[in-house]
Amino acid sequence: MSAATAPAFEVTPQRKFPRQPINVPMDLIALRSGVPENLPGRCTDISEAGVGAVVAGEMAAGQQVAVELRLPNVGVPVRARALVRHQSRLRCGLEFVGLSAEQREMIRYWVHRSASQAAVVTEMVKKETGGVAKTEGLLVIAKRAAKPKRTIRIGRRGFVVLIACILVVAGLGWWEWQRSWNELERRLTAGEEGLRVSPEAMEKRIITKVEPAYPEAARAAGTEGVVLLDAVIAPDGSVKRVRPVSGPDLLMQSATEAVRSWKFEPYVDQSSGKAVEVETTIAVEFRLH
């Protein structure tokens, strides 16, 4: 008797960064023969490495696209390039390319916070349903709160008006995304119109960096995260102006005061050879541990 050959099992590599479930609209631009095509969709999960999504359009693995989405309770949109890694039945996986440091920190903070909130919700559901699993428990709570819904009927004339409105919105969306694609192209090239410098480039020019004090109120409340600041750097390298963009309110003032004391190496314009005023984005991270 000959021994049977053992079946080979494919080992699925673990993701380097954990993905957090999410359900938000996502706009995607794919260039086809040099013409931007808007593909609407929804983001289903996200990490600082990429996103999973359902997209209304066919794409090929390795294709480069531009994506934009907004994380819940975050004022700044995530707008970046991505590579299509796979697509099956409109579901696709996208890997971020050239994600900025502040966007990476923003996503990392949101994932961490959402995971913590999800754990709290799970415990609440277990208490409410007597230890039932989270998914089943949510169904139990939903059935308790379910109420009959009214049916809205639309006549033929109303249907025509509705279709016309959708077409108008779609046309405006395509125009807006074409403008967004051009803006994204400019941002991903060096200098961003010559006066705005990438955070990575300015971080290398830091001469004096004052660490922010951790506010006692934030420490007592267990608040941590990333504060994003828009900063104007004067020709002499001093911080001329700082404006908070996003982040926990309890941490914004401390981050702003610290950055005002920073000193940078003057940014020299290559064309004129003179030091010039530039704008940049600064990410200040607060961690309790």
Structural domain spans, the chain: 15-105+155-185, 106-143, 199-286
Residue 173, CB half-sphere, CA atoms under 13 Å: how many? 15
Which residue carries 């990392």 as its tokens? 108
pLDDT of residue 127: 66
Q: Is the CB of residue 20 less than 8 Å from the CB of residue 46? A: yes
Is pLDDT of 223 > 70?
yes
Which residue carries 């290398």 as its tokens? 204
| Residue 35: band (very low, low, confident or very high) from pLDDT cuts 50, 70, 90 | low
- Percent of the chain past pLDDT 90, that is, above it, reads 23
Give the residue among 29, 30, 31, 65 at the shortest CA–CA distance from 50: 65
Six-digit token pair at 263?
Answer: 């000193």
Query: Whole-number mean pLDDT of the chain?
Result: 77
| Residue 5: band (very low, low, confident or very high) from pLDDT cuts 50, 70, 90 | very low
More confident residue, 287 or 165: 287
| Residue 209: band (very low, low, confident or very high) from pLDDT cuts 50, 70, 90 | very high
- Top CATH class, 199-286: alpha beta
Give the residue among 125, 55, 99, 284 at the shortest CA–CA distance from 188: 99
Assigned CATH topology for domain 15-105+155-185: Thrombin, subunit H (2.40.10)
Is pLDDT of 170 > 60?
no
Q: What tens digit of pLDDT does each residue of 107-158 get?
A: 888 888 777 776 666 666 566 666 655 555 555 555 555 555 565 666 666 6
